[in-house]
Structure 1
Amino acid sequence: MPSQKAQKIDLNTEYPCPCPRRRGRLVPITLTEAMGCDRCQQIFVVEENGYVLEQLSTSYPYKKAWRWSGHRWSTAHPSLSDNYLPVGLGVILVLLLVWLPLALLSPFGSSIIWAILPVTLMVLPALMLLLAYRR
């Protein structure tokens, strides 16, 4: 069984490109401490004492980083998009814990408000996530 522990990245070795759906190879860039992909033209630098590969990009506001396990890349800093399902379930659970007691304690004369409120409370966080993590 291959080791899951991160291995030090050697700048003189070729690696597969960590970008998803790419079949490129990372090759060292001469006279620099960087590597470039021969297919997607992305440039990567080695950080954290040689254990983390970080993508250089001016168009993406959050830096992507990976660790080499000896046979594949794994995300160094998992982002919110990697944990979308647990975060989404957590948001729904919090909304239900807040909305349900309010709905049960209120007079049912204003049922339109209680129908619009949970929809608004679910759409606003989803819209905020969409705007924050769009490319």
Structure 2
Amino acid sequence: MQSQKAQKIDLNTDYPCPCRRRGRLVPIVLTEAFGCNRCQQIFVVDENGYSIEQLSTNYPYKQAWRWTGNQWSKAYSGLRDSYLPLALGIILVLLVIWLPSALSLPLGSNIIPWAIIVAVLLAVLPALMVWLAYRR
């Protein structure tokens, strides 16, 4: 089993593209950068030489990878990996607060069905937003 320890990136070697498009990263002459021959992305080697960072991207967060000897691994997870737990926490809080308060209203009240609908919608909307953000 190969170790997950980051290896120093050799500027004279070509690597597989971390974007998973079956491309190859080839060194760009006279720079500390690589270009993918398939997806046309440019990757710059970090100052320490252990990670690469994607330059031209429309992704709002920086993407960086470390070379482990046989594959790329994410250098840092960033905010994207915490969206799902955050959305689940919001749903849980809404269900714990809104649902009991909606059910504790007097039975003759017309507000009960609307309060339950609002509570469920407020719980489902964050989950729907996360699903739309992560689907490909």
TM bucket (normalised to shorter chain) is 0.7 to 0.9
State the partner residue of 2:48.
49
Asked whether the equivalents of residues 52 and 76 of structure 1 are also in contact (C-alpha less than 8 Å), the reply is yes
State the partner residue of 2:37.
38
Deviation (angstroms), 1:112: 2.8
Q: 2:100 aligned with 1:92, yes or no?
A: no
Deviation (angstroms), 1:3: 0.5
* SS at structure 2 position matched to 1:49: coil
Q: Give the alignment's TM-score, normalised by structure 2.
A: 0.78
* CA RMSD between the two structures: 2.8
State the partner residue of 1:6.
6
The structure richer in helix per residue is: 1
Deviation (angstroms), 1:84: 5.7
* SS at structure 2 position matched to 1:50: coil
- My pick for the range that moved more, 118-127 or 10-19, is 118-127
The residue identity in structure 2 corresponding to 1:40 is: C
Asked whether the equivalents of residues 57 and 63 of structure 1 are also in contact (C-alpha less than 8 Å), the reply is no
Q: Unaligned 5+ residue runs, structure 2?
A: none
Aligned residue pairs, count: 134
Q: Give the alignment's TM-score, normalised by structure 1.
A: 0.79
- My pick for the range that moved more, 106-115 or 80-89, is 80-89
Q: Max radius of gyration: which structure? A: 2
Q: 1:16 to 1:58 in 2, by over 3 A?
A: closer
Distance across 2 between alignment mates of 1:48 and 1:122: 44
Percent identity between matched residues is 69
1:5-48, CA deviations, whole angstroms, 9 ceiling, x for partnerless residues? 1112121111100003x111101000111100011110001125
State the partner residue of 1:18.
18
